[in-house]
């Protein structure tokens, strides 16, 4: 039984969805990921994860997969040929249009599964705007919270907390999902150790800062892809599927304290 909303006819969508159905919107990016990874890395990870979660728990949780959004806010990589990005204004308008459209369905639950850290703040803004403008229950999920958005470094971190783009874990995921698109022979360590030595103004610190990937490294990589393995990618992907699935279980049951009051 299909769990892809686009596979349904309009009458079938009305018949099969109800108020607790959850729409899952993968959001990726097309942007440089150094010389060893494809431009579509974030898109492929977000789409692959969304498909795996919907396949695993779609029947249980009544999940419905929307087509992935490939273009998003990637202007921190705009210097690199091949990066295709939307302005903040355009992306917010696109997200509002998506929300306005899905609000015609029986469900009001829309979960963004974001594969690109540069979208995080805008998607958080969009969550509230869609709630206010269209009455949707909106949610933002990540495969893991981006390090530059306050996420924790892994326990076995070898990147000094600086592995935010094209590094060990992202490369490991691609070795698991799409090894044919990875060229480890071109991978090089690119960890900004002088930033890692700071306590406040750093990725994961409590003082955010504006940046372009070219500010950090000429290659555009921030991390150490030389440590990547397919086995690590498989382990992380399985953990992400379980974590996102559990999060969506709470999304399905979520209600505000004043609902029905």
Note whether 138 and 250 are within 8 A (CB).
no
- Identify the CA nearest to 27 among candidates 102, 105, 122: 122
Residue 102 CB neighbour total at 10 angstroms: 21
Out of 3.40.50.2300, 3.90.1150.10, 3.40.50.10310, 3.30.460.80, which CATH number does the structure's domain 18-248 have? Answer: 3.40.50.10310
pLDDT tens, position by position, 97-151: 999 999 999 999 999 999 999 999 999 999 999 999 999 999 999 987 666 666 6
pLDDT given for residue 259 in this prediction: 82
Phi then psi for 12, rounded to 5 degrees?
Answer: -65, -35
Note whether 197 and 181 are within 8 A (CB).
no
The whole-angstrom separation of Cα 120 and Cα 149 is 8
pLDDT tens, position by position, 2-24: 999 999 999 999 999 999 999 99
What are the structural domain ranges in the chain? 18-248
The whole-angstrom separation of Cα 166 and Cα 224 is 8
pLDDT given for residue 46 in this prediction: 98
Q: What is the mean pLDDT of the chain?
A: 95
pTM for the model: 0.95
């Amino acid at each position: 039984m299909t769990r892809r909303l686009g596979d349904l006819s309009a009458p079938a969508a009305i018949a099969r969805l109800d108020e607790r159905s959850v729409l899952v919107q993968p959001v990726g990016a097309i942007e440089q990921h150094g010389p060893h990874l494809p431009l579509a890395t974030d898109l492929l990870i977000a789409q692959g994860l969304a498909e795996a979660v919907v396949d695993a728990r779609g029947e249980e949780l009544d999940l419905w997969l929307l087509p992935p959004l490939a273009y998003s806010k990637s202007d921190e990589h705009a210097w690199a040929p091949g990066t295709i990005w939307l302005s903040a204004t355009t992306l917010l308008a696109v997200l509002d249009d998506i929300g306005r459209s899905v609000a015609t369905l029986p469900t009001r639950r829309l979960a963004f599964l974001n594969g690109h850290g540069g979208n995080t703040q805008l998607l958080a803004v969009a969550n509230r705007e869609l709630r206010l403008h269209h009455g949707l229950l909106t949610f933002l999920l990540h495969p893991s919270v981006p390090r530059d958005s306050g996420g924790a470094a892994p326990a076995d971190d070898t990147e000094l907390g600086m592995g935010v783009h094209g590094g060990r874990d992202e490369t490991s995921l691609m070795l698991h999902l799409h090894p044919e698109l990875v060229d480890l022979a071109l991978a090089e360590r690119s960890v900004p150790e002088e930033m890692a030595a700071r306590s406040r103004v750093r990725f994961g610190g409590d003082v955010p800062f504006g940046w372009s990937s070219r500010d950090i490294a000429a290659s555009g990589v921030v991390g150490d892809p030389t440590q990547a393995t397919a086995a690590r990618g498989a382990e992380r992907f399985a953990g992400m599927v379980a974590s996102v699935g559990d999060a969506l279980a709470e999304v399905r049951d979520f209600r505000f304290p004043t609902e029905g009051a």
